[in-house]
Chains A and B, each alone.
Chain A
Amino acid sequence: MSVLETDPEDMIRVIDEDGEVVGDVPDLSEEEFVAMYRYMKLARHFDERAVSLQRQGRMGTYPPLSGQEGAQIGSALALAENDWIVPSYREHGAALVRGVPLKQTLLYWMGHEDGNRMPEGVNVFPVAVPIASQIPHATGAAWARKLQGDDDVFLCYFGDGATSEGDFHEGLNFAGVFDTPTVFFCNNNQWAISVPRERQTASATLAQKADAYGFEGVRVDGMDPLAVYKATTAAVEKARDPDEDQLRPTMIEAVQYRFGAHTTADDPTVYRDEDEVEKWKAKDPIPRLENYLRAEEILNDERVAEIEASVKEEVAGAIDEAESVPRPEPREMFEHAYAELPPELERQYEEFAAVREEYGDDAFLED
């Protein structure tokens, strides 16, 4: 039986909170296990540094991902080279796996448009801030690839709150009707800012919503990177190469928790109890994978220390690089609105440039 046939009320699991094996471990090489672990450590350290940069006024509002590394890294690693991810705004970890440099992610949250220009060959859609709005894109993009005769799969991320928006339903419905190679990956982190999961829907699970669109929906322990990897791999394989009686799309509900604030502008102590946070911290995906890999003798103190040191160095280097990028020139605001700058825009720019010339930059910039 495929894992995708798991009842949506059940939960796909591979290792438990202590890293003990409770399901079939996916077939990964030692290097692949270590890479998974390192990506998670990198995402966590990046996240901690980003939050601290924001606090020091070196970055704007930032959405932290701590606690969600297992879901992001486990799923992104299940993709083949040519596959795509269609993220929301919190998937810095998944983006990293897919080749988005940390410097880009930093620049984006430092308010530079260039941060959202993914390098050529990196199959990642730009950050989508309006909730659920990227879901129909993932359906359409996957559909396009199918029509073009390619076999790329699209992995679309969104939150628990997103399942309440019309775009979620329309995107999944189209995927079912047109049988698109899309995997809908719901990061159910229990909260949509201050609104708990129970306030989004009276359904028992989010995964069961897939049933209404005619394709499979499964729940996976989102704090268990191996379970996430296993479920996503099965969904990606089915999307690429379904059996005759199967529809390509799948919805995966990854049950997890956001350890930190919704964004650096949010104060979670107003709406949730510290007890709940502690309960979920005990399920932290990183020590859990580490325990498993130590038990398997894939990791030891020395390798862990090495990884920790290299991760710190990598993040520090990315921060230096990002901070050395100067503020973009205002001309850039105008350059990407159209293929060719319309004359009225040229005129608006010139008028602006003349005032800037006369009054100087200080008349515009606060900091």
Chain B
Amino acid sequence: MTETQNLTLVQAVRDGLFTEMSADEDVVVLGEDVGKNGGVFRATEGLYDEFGGDRVIDTPLAESGIIGAAVGMAAMGMRPVPECQFSGFMYPGFDQIVSHMSRFRTRSRSRFTLPMTLRAPYGGGIRAPEHHSESKEAFYAHEAGLKVAIPSTPYDAKGMLISAIRDPDPVVFLEPKLIYRAFRGEVPEEDYEVPLGEAITRREGDDIAVFTWGAMTRPTMEAAESLAEEGIECEVVDLRTVSPLDREAIVEAFEKTGRAAVVHEAPKSGGLGAEITATIQEEALLYQEAPVKRITGFDVPFPLYALEDYYLPSAARVEAGVKEAVNFP
């Protein structure tokens, strides 16, 4: 029997880093405050003492430098894990992400591959200042050549991070910081992989398929439980990787129920809900009994925290949206 530990999501991230750094000398962590401070969320706590300043690297305050240098390291066969302190501060490095990180393999006809994992906490709900709350996974999912992973449990956080670090291609690894410490889960001490690109069913139900990921799994599950009391059974699918999408799982859950909702905290227009809806249209039109309901953030800049609880999809909005889809026409 494997030993397990009871960890929070952020501790599981740290454990995943520790596991891979112990196994492979080419794995290095670099970013702002990741060393001595152990990361502003403590995701790299203790790694500096364990592996030293050459592998757990406090960099100057420059995201283009961090990501660009990681591209160079990865091209030389290392497996860098750069961190951006918040996803809202990835943009000074955006050019490196979309012009290079995603394209090195293509550009060099696979002579160079970039086995790098760019980590960043993302999402709202922690009463933080401006730019600390956005969900911009769609930017990265829109960029060919990148994989985009978003764990929602401690078990997945460790397993998906290990998969990402071992992946021959670059992965953007977005961590839902609202649930960094919201609950604990059993996490094996040994190394294990949770494959990227595979969704998981969190709850079975026949009436409607609800697709979600990251911190939104919580209000979605909460709504599903209270809807069950009213006799509405939701099949809740946690996509876990938003690029590549597990289209098979989407279609399968949809064909089972004929109705769907998507819950994401990112703005509605151009969000991944649209991609999921289009997939259903393309692959399962004849099963469709109702329009797909999108329950999302609004198409406005993420507000300062006095209003963030209104911005983020709540269990109430999920409930209302699911009922609309279930009661159609």
A and B assemble together? yes
Interface residues of A (CB under 8 A from B): 60-61, 89, 108-113, 115-116, 127, 129-132, 161-162, 164-167, 192-195, 199-201, 265-266, 270-271, 327-328, 330, 332-334, 337, 342, 344-345, 348-349, 352, 354-356, 358-359, 363-366
User: Is A167 within 8 A of B92, CB to CB?
Assistant: yes
Q: Is the CB of B128 within 8 A of A193?
A: no
- B127, CB-defined interface residue at 8 Å: yes
> Chain B residues with Cβ under 8 A from A332's Cβ?
303, 307
Q: Are A363 and B307 in contact, with the CB atoms below 8 A?
A: no
Report chain A residues within 8 Å CB of B300. Answer: 333-334, 337, 345
Given A164-B62, A333-B303, A358-B320: A129 and B37 interface contact (C-beta under 8 Å) = no
Q: Are B129 and A345 in contact (CB under 8 A)?
A: no
Q: Does B303 lie within 8 Å of A270, measured CB to CB?
A: no
How near does chain A come to B183, taking the closest CB pair, in angstroms?
16
Q: Does B154 contact A (CB under 8 A)?
A: no
Query: Shortest CB–CB separation between residue A163 and chain B, in angstroms?
Result: 8
**Complex Cα–Cα for A67 and B136 (A):** 37
Q: In the complex the two chains form, is A113's CB within 8 Å of B38's CB? A: no
Decide yes or no whether B231 CB sits under 8 A from chain A: no
B269 within 8 A of A: yes
Chain A: CB-nearest residue to B65: A164
Structural contact, B299 and A345, CB atoms closer than 8 A: yes
Question: Which A residues lie within 8 Å of B40 (CB)?
Answer: 193, 265-266
B274 nearest CB across to chain A (Å): 13
Instruction: Please provide the 5 A-B residue pairs with the shortest distance between their CB atoms, ordered closest to farther.
Output: A194-B37, A111-B305, A363-B316, A164-B60, A111-B306
Q: List 17 A-B contacts (CB under 8 A).
A: A60-B129, A61-B128, A116-B304, A127-B130, A130-B88, A131-B61, A165-B92, A199-B60, A200-B61, A271-B37, A332-B303, A334-B300, A337-B300, A344-B269, A352-B310, A356-B310, A363-B315
- Check B33 against A334 for contact (C-beta < 8 Å): no
Q: Is the beta-carbon distance between B37 and A193 smaller than 8 angstroms?
A: yes
**Residues 119 to 163 of chain B near chain A (Cβ within 8 Å):** 127-132
Q: Is the CB of A166 within 8 A of B62?
A: yes
Q: Which of chain A's residues has its CB closest to B63's CB?
A: A165
Residues of B within 8 A of A199 (CB): 58-60
Main secondary structure of the interface of B (DSSP, over half): loop
Chain B residues whose CB sits within 8 angstroms of the CB of A271 once the complex forms: 36-37
User: What is the distance, in angstroms, from A192's C-beta to the closest C-beta of chain B?
Assistant: 5
Which residue among B60, B269, B304 has the maximum number of chain A CB atoms within 10 Å of its CB? Answer: B304
**A-side contacts of B307, CB under 8 Å:** 111, 113, 327-328, 330, 332-333
The reply to whether A333 and B131 contact each other, CB–CB distance below 8 Å, is: no
B residues in contact (CB < 8 Å) with A: 32-33, 35-38, 40, 58-65, 88-89, 91-92, 127-132, 268-269, 298-301, 303-311, 314-317, 319-320
* Most chain A Cβ neighbours within 10 Å, of B131, B132, B306: B306
Chain A residue contacts of B132, Cβ below 8 A: 129
Q: Which residue of B lies closest to A165 (CB)?
A: B62
Partner pick for A333 among B58, B298, B317, B319, CB 8 A cutoff: B298
Q: With both chains docked as a complex, state the minimum distance between the C-beta of B156 and any C-beta of chain A, in angstroms.
A: 25
Q: What B residues does A265 contact at CB under 8 A?
A: 40
Tell me the nearest residue of chain A to B93, going by C-beta.
A166
Q: Are A364 and B129 in contact (CB under 8 A)?
A: no
A166 to B94 alpha-carbon distance, docked (Å): 12
Given contacts A201-B60, A352-B298, A355-B317, whether A60 and B310 have CB atoms under 8 Å apart is: no
A60-B129, A200-B61 known; A355 vs B320 contact (CB < 8 Å):
yes
Residue on B with the closest CB to A164?
B60
Residues on B with C-beta less than 8 A from A349 are 298
CA distance A358 to B63 in the complex (A): 45
Inside 8 A of B38's CB, which chain A residues have their CB?
270
CB distance from A305 to the nearest CB of B (A): 36
Chain A nearest CB from B316 CB (Å) reads 4
Known A-B contacts A61-B128, A359-B316; the reply to A348 vs B298 at CB < 8 A is: yes
Asked whether, in the complex, the Cβ of A166 is within 8 Å of the Cβ of B316, the reply is no
Does B89 lie within 8 Å of A162, measured CB to CB? no
Residue in A109, A193, A354, A358 whose CB lies within 8 Å of B33? A193
